[in-house]
Amino acid sequence: MPSIRRVARAGQTTEILEEHPYVGGEAPTRPSVTVSYAQTLDGRVATATGESKWISCPDSLRFAHEMRADNDAVLVGAGTVCKDDPRLTVRHVPGRSPLRVVVDSTLRTPPDAAVLADGAAPGTVLAVTDRAPAKRRERALSLGATVLRLPSDAYGRVDLAALLGELVAIGIGSVMVEGGATLITGFFRTGLVDRVAVCVAPKILGDGIEAIGDLGIRDLSQSLTLADVAVEPYGVDLILSGRVVYPDGVPDRG
Ligand SMILES: NC(=O)c1ccc[n+]([C@@H]2O[C@H](COP(=O)([O-])OP(=O)(O)OC[C@H]3O[C@@H](n4cnc5c(N)ncnc54)[C@H](OP(=O)(O)O)[C@@H]3O)[C@@H](O)[C@H]2O)c1
């Protein structure tokens, strides 16, 4: 059943009609998933050397923090933690910081990463597989983080559907996937994305890290499309958001 979520922003309240992943009217099997990132006009989320701070303008940065405040959890890949060392907290707007989840098969997040250091660890979940050495798991646990050992996907990485199943079980109803490109691609490949909210900045990079990698689409008619599209200016950037429609329904994850 769809539900109404109210989003407070700059003195106004917007109502968002949300489709939750229900099966036969039962409890949701996973949280709703919104992918959100900032890209250049030519679809890059970082330069070829991995620099992404900042593609978007300060107004859009506020939008990203509003999104964090509006979701129960924010998910990033281990690549983003190792490259950018983000705090993943809400700072530019009022609101509560979401649970931080790092998708990190081998637990390569360093103990001094911002998501673990200075008392941050108790608000952080490290989603790992059996490939994460016991010593690293123990270290993260001793800092106060939660370590979730999950099954692997076909590539030996964290099974994203299993991760979402664990998150919904602990009461997480909505997640925001903030990047980077590899994690975002993984979510699209498995058909687990409900909505996108993409910040498009008036910049061109040429070579760089593409926002979304190969999804196996060779025919335009197989493109994923957006429904209920909204376009909002934030400073010089545009935020384009909408519900993801898969051409043949959600892909088989087997
Ligand atoms: N513009 C933006 O909005 C934005 C936002 C975030 C990041 N970025 C940029 O993106 C770059 C980092 O992106 P990235 O692609 O290198 O790293 P990433 O997407 O942050 O992390 C990818 C890593 O996550 C781990 N992972 C575990 N399970 C996975 C699964 N099922 N699917 C996908 N990944 C899984 C893998 O590492 P293991 O195998 O070790 O587990 C994988 O290499 C940086 O340059 C950063 O600045 C830009």
Decide whether any atom of ligand 1 lies within 6 Å of the 86 Cβ: no
Instruction: Supply the pLDDT for residue 252.
Output: 53
Q: Residues 178, 242, 29, CA angle at the centre, nearest 5°?
A: 65
- In whole angstroms, what separates CA 106 from the centre of its chain? 19
Report pLDDT for 248: 83
The whole model's pTM is what? 0.91
Q: Where are the alpha helices (DSSP H) in the chain?
A: 58-70, 78-84, 134-143, 160-169, 181-189
User: 10 Å Cβ neighbour count for 41?
Assistant: 11
64 within 8 A of 234, measured Cβ to Cβ: no
pLDDT of residue 13: 34
Determine the residue type at 146. T
Radius of gyration for the alpha carbons in the chain, expressed in angstroms and rounded: 18
Backbone angles phi, psi at 208, to 5 degrees: 170, -170
CA of 78 to the centre of ligand 1 (A): 6
The amino acid at 175: V
- 199: buried, middle or exposed (CB in 10 Å: 19+, 13-18, 0-12)? buried
The structure tokens listed for 9 are 């922003």
Amino acid at residue number 190: T
106 lines ligand 1 (CB under 6 A): yes
pLDDT at 24: 56
> How, if at all, do strands 195-201 and 225-234 pair?
unpaired
- Rounded-to-5 percentages of helix, strand, coil across the chain: 20, 35, 45
Which CATH class, in words, describes the domain spanning 33-41+52-245?
alpha beta
Q: Domain limits of the chain? A: 33-41+52-245
Three-state secondary-structure class, residue 40: strand
Question: pLDDT by residue for the chain (254 residues), tens digit each?
Answer: 334 343 333 333 333 334 445 445 677 899 999 999 999 999 999 999 999 999 999 999 999 999 999 999 999 999 999 999 999 999 999 999 999 999 999 999 999 999 999 999 999 999 999 999 999 999 999 999 999 999 999 999 999 999 999 999 999 999 999 999 999 999 999 999 999 999 999 999 999 999 999 999 999 999 999 999 999 999 999 999 999 999 987 655 44
> Does 186 contact ligand 1 (Cβ within 6 A)?
yes
| 179 pocket-lining for ligand 1 (C-beta < 6 Å) | yes
84 within ligand 1 shell (Cβ under 6 A): yes
Query: Among 157, 178, 9, which Cα is nearest to 88's?
Result: 178
DSSP secondary structure, 93-126, as one string: SSSPPPEEEEE-TT--S-TTSTTTTTTTGGGEEE
- Report which DSSP code applies to 168: H
Which residues, listed in sequence order, are joined to residue 240 by a DSSP beta bridge?
198, 231
Residue nearest to atom 8 of ligand 1 (CA): 180
Q: DSSP state, 241?
A: E
- Measured from the Cα of 108, ligand 1's closest atom is 40
pLDDT at 26: 74
- Which pLDDT score, from 0 to 100, does residue 28 have? 87
Task: Say yes or no: CB of residue 98 within 6 Å of ligand 1.
Answer: no
67 beta partners: none
Residue 14's φ and ψ, nearest 5 degrees, are: -110, 140
